[in-house]
Structure 1
């Protein structure tokens, strides 16, 4: 009996929400390098153009607001117009926690709403638009959410809204997996600890902060975007065809001993 390459993603169409950011761009680029067609989508026109440029006709840069329902529908329409379909959506929009740190008892509503708008609504709306297309296509699909270890772990640093938002993404991963399984759509999540990206560069530049973080990670370092790529390819390939509703923690062993 012969076995095809279960990790082959060539020919698939991938929509990366947050494709202008470090993690989204790394994931989208990994797919494109392996023959997938990729829509890099975010609010920053320069970043999505730069992400798509190396891949010529296999990539598309889309400028959109992931918290606007019509713009999400239009972004998926553009992807389908260009590539004929959509097979995979990667939700790599999020963050913001370090900008709005407040004690839990005083956490202001406007900051709370902003974190949820960015991290939850910014995943829900693109996914709804993509999954409607997948259901219409009738041959399954993949949803991959980028979550965080903060969905599991509290932190004494004013992160109430962020941990709640990432907890919501973890719960939605399981709920969507359950609801969309009859359509052959797999829904999973990757849950990293700190990943060395420009978004957290200021924090990691503090030697005391970095040392305290690394001391808690058994493998002795923070994550890199390369650490995210392999699992992201797995979840988008047929190798994960019987995996759904799962959250893979990529944290160098942090949660194993916390």
Structure 2
């Protein structure tokens, strides 16, 4: 019987040596894991977040993976802050090759009946889940265009961008659906510059941020009963897709959405 041979050069397609990745929302649970994964394949990582403790954790994860980290604190719903974050990355590392837009969430803090949804919560959830991605993407895209090397932008959306839910999620569902559409638009406009834009859409991911909602009576059991794999996502479940979309492994892929949901949308 022939011995199986692994061509290790194929795995080089997933490497990001000499590349610089910006992770917006890098201080969250998914963000920390994303930062570590990108560093693990050779990238220098600029970590954007608002949590001092989360930023420190993300820095530690990058350094433990053998990478170099730049920590940037700021509110990315403000254009000046987003522009400054990308400029800090350029000043420190000289280039921007990859952007992961991972700022978001907050759905469990803004649950209201659709007919009475308050504008203040609407604006807050859209700013957190949509405006941040727009502003950081614009700043990163300008840097990528100026650099002349193309780049990769990955938005982290949600299955709720495709599926309604009778649980008061109007703003969150609207924001994620708009992010999916913005992915297609940015991919179309920026393709001429060699910039690819894609989206992953997980179902619930087990993080500290989601813990309170997942702990609500009956919520978890009801959720997993509708997922064919009968569990929610762990942060590790996102890593393969993140590395695919951020690397040359997906060099002919743009404007696409990959749902990471244990089969949930397949049943709808």
Q: Which residue of 1 aligns with 2:26?
A: 19
Please give the residue correspondences for 1:1-258 in structure 2 after superposition, counting only pairs within 5 Å. 5-56=12-63, 58-206=68-216, 208-258=218-268
Question: What's the CA shift for 1:53?
Answer: 2.9
Would the aligned equivalents of 2:32 and 2:61 in 1 still touch at CA under 8 Å?
no
**Whole-Å Cα distance in 2 between the matches of residues 241 and 55 of structure 1?**
25
Question: What's the CA shift for 1:207?
Answer: 5.5
Deviations 1:184-238 (A, max 9, x none): 0000000000111111111222462111111100011100100111100000110
**Whole-Å Cα distance in 2 between the matches of residues 50 and 24 of structure 1?**
10
Would the aligned equivalents of 1:45 and 1:62 in 2 still touch at CA under 8 Å?
no
**Whole-Å Cα distance in 1 between the matches of residues 46 and 217 of structure 2?**
37
Normalised TM-score (structure 1):
0.96
**Whole-Å Cα distance in 2 between the matches of residues 164 and 55 of structure 1?**
33
Unaligned runs of 5+ residues in structure 1 are none
**Whole-Å Cα distance in 2 between the matches of residues 54 and 134 of structure 1?**
26
Question: What's the CA shift for 1:45?
Answer: 2.5
Change (3 A) 1:52 1:213: same
Normalised TM-score (structure 2):
0.93
**Whole-Å Cα distance in 1 between the matches of residues 219 and 81 of structure 2?**
38
**Whole-Å Cα distance in 1 between the matches of residues 211 and 61 of structure 2?**
25
**Whole-Å Cα distance in 1 between the matches of residues 61 and 208 of structure 2?**
21
Would the aligned equivalents of 1:218 and 1:252 in 2 still touch at CA under 8 Å?
yes
**Whole-Å Cα distance in 1 between the matches of residues 146 and 172 of structure 2?**
34
Which shows bigger deviation, 236-245 or 103-112? 103-112
SS of aligned partner of 1:6: helix
The alignment covers a number of residue pairs equal to 258
SS of aligned partner of 2:42: coil
